[in-house]
Amino acid sequence: MKYAHIVGWGSFRPDKILTNHDLARIVDTSDEWIYSRTGIRERRIASEKETTATLAFEAAARALQRADLHPSQVELIIVATSTPEYIFPSTACRVQDYLGATKAGAFDLSAACSGFVYALSMAAQSIQTGSVRNAIVIGAETMSRVMDWEDRGTCILFGDGAGAIVLKGSSVPGGVMASTLRSDGSGGDLLSLPAVYHNPMPVLGPEYLHQNGHRKNTVDMNGRQVFRFATQVIASSVEETVAKAGLTMDEVALIVPHQANVRIIESAAKRLKIPVERFYMNVDTMGNTSAASIPIALCDAVHDGRLRPDDNVVFVGFGGGLTWAASVVKWNVTPPEISLPRREWRRARYILARARSQIKKWRRKIIDRVLFSPAPHERMRDADRKE
């Protein structure tokens, strides 16, 4: 089982569409400016009920469906995200619970917009070394929740969504053939999102806050420098990884890049001396969905018939950190046809998984009540009162 093949893929995009015209009513911008500088026309925005974990679950359920894999067979779940709802529990653990993937290890991976390629590489190595037989790799983001909606330099770029793939071990040569992961922390300030706890805590007192001010918890970016960095690293990492896989650029059928900006991709194509048509792009309708952009674009590329069995496809990501990464994948597994009743039965199982999760929560509460009645913190409070 030393090859890790992509055997399932799925994406989920929230219903709400925010167009450039809508944005022009929020900040001082225009459809013409945004489209000419970025290639973006619209992006999706998560509803109040949707979270990074629910988007990730929907994408993962679709990918499992396509792979015809039961959640209880899944052994590893990695969610690449910069917008988790919690530092812990991880988004991956929430997805594990929603899926009812009772035998899976689960963790989040933080590498900004390169996160999906990093996670793909980690999962592929886990399969190639025999540590697990399969894995779900998800990129999921609710970037709209970390935007400064008064900053026209950033809020026009990002959107929400999720994409997932299922990787499975096989003795058939192919699948993930080579990866390159890189980082340069000296450029961390060029694109950043401070964590909530990066803010001075109230314990430091009003004097401290007065002197140092509050830090924003929204995306901060030096657009021009990020642009320059991106065009350089796309070309270098694609060339390096294609060579590592023992291929030439002529043998690459399609490049699925992180969807940040059409001009960045055009300029990378020029550096690589290949036609821009070899790059798949859907940034016009999705905007930049950070770690989710590559798996969503992959799903669209498959849907549009851009990938055929035995094609070599390259994924390339770049972003905050600074980080960048590329993977070469041989696309050679045809997914099975799944009947409608079987699909419906799968959906029903997810409802059962949620019910089981609730029952587990109640059981913990009941055991807690029976064994520690009253609860330890209540006993301490009662003792304090008596004193």
The encoded tokens of residue 385 equal 């009162």
Stretch that binds ligand COA, among 72-80, 151-159, 166-174, 355-363 (CB under 6 A): 151-159
Q: Is 156 among the residues that bind ligand COA (CB under 6 A)? A: yes
Q: Is 121 among the residues that bind ligand COA (CB under 6 A)? A: no
Minimum distance, C-beta of residue 281 to ligand COA, in the bound complex (Å):
13
Which residue in 46, 93, 226, 297 binds ligand COA (CB under 6 A)? 226
Q: Is 234 among the residues that bind ligand COA (CB under 6 A)? A: no
Q: Is 260 among the residues that bind ligand COA (CB under 6 A)? A: yes
The active-site residue out of 282, 288, 312, 332 is 288
Minimum distance, C-beta of residue 166 to ligand COA, in the bound complex (Å):
26
Known catalytic residue at 288: yes
Q: Is 319 among the residues that bind ligand COA (CB under 6 A)? A: yes
Minimum distance, C-beta of residue 253 to ligand COA, in the bound complex (Å):
25
> Which conformational region is residue 232 in: left (phi greater than 0), alpha (psi within -120 to 50 degrees), or beta?
alpha
Which residue in 224, 270, 354, 364 binds ligand COA (CB under 6 A)? 224
Nearer to ligand COA, 240 or 266 (CB): 266
Stretch that binds ligand COA, among 9-17, 127-135, 159-167, 223-231 (CB under 6 A): 223-231
Known catalytic residue at 155: no
* Beta carbons of 146 and 195 less than 8 angstroms apart: no
* Beta carbons of 177 and 245 less than 8 angstroms apart: yes
DSSP 384: H
The active-site residue out of 5, 20, 93, 113 is 113
DSSP 185: G
Q: Is 35 among the residues that bind ligand COA (CB under 6 A)? A: no
Report CA-CA distances (Å) from 233 to 182, 268, 283, 325: 9, 8, 19, 9
Give the H/E segment covering residue 8: strand 3-12
Which residue in 89, 194, 223, 335 binds ligand COA (CB under 6 A)? 223
Nearer to ligand COA, 101 or 294 (CB): 294
Distance CA 326, CA 273 (A): 18
Burial 250-286 (b: 16+ CB within 10 A, else e): eebebbbbbbbbbebbebbbeebebeeeebbbbbebb
Known catalytic residue at 377: no
> Which conformational region is residue 319 in: left (phi greater than 0), alpha (psi within -120 to 50 degrees), or beta?
left
The encoded tokens of residue 282 equal 């859907």
Any residues with CB less than 8 A from the CB of 74 and at least 6 apart, and which?
Answer: 64, 99, 101, 103, 104, 134, 135, 136
Which residue in 77, 78, 109, 113 binds ligand COA (CB under 6 A)? 113
Q: Sheet of 3-12: strands edge to edge?
A: 3-12, 160-170, 134-142, 76-80, 105-109
Q: Is 38 among the residues that bind ligand COA (CB under 6 A)? A: yes
The active-site residue out of 134, 258, 261, 299 is 258
Which residues of the shown chain bind ligand COA in the complex (CB under 6 A)? 29, 33-34, 37-38, 113, 152-153, 156-157, 221, 223-224, 226-227, 260-261, 288, 319
Residues identified as active-site: 113, 258, 288
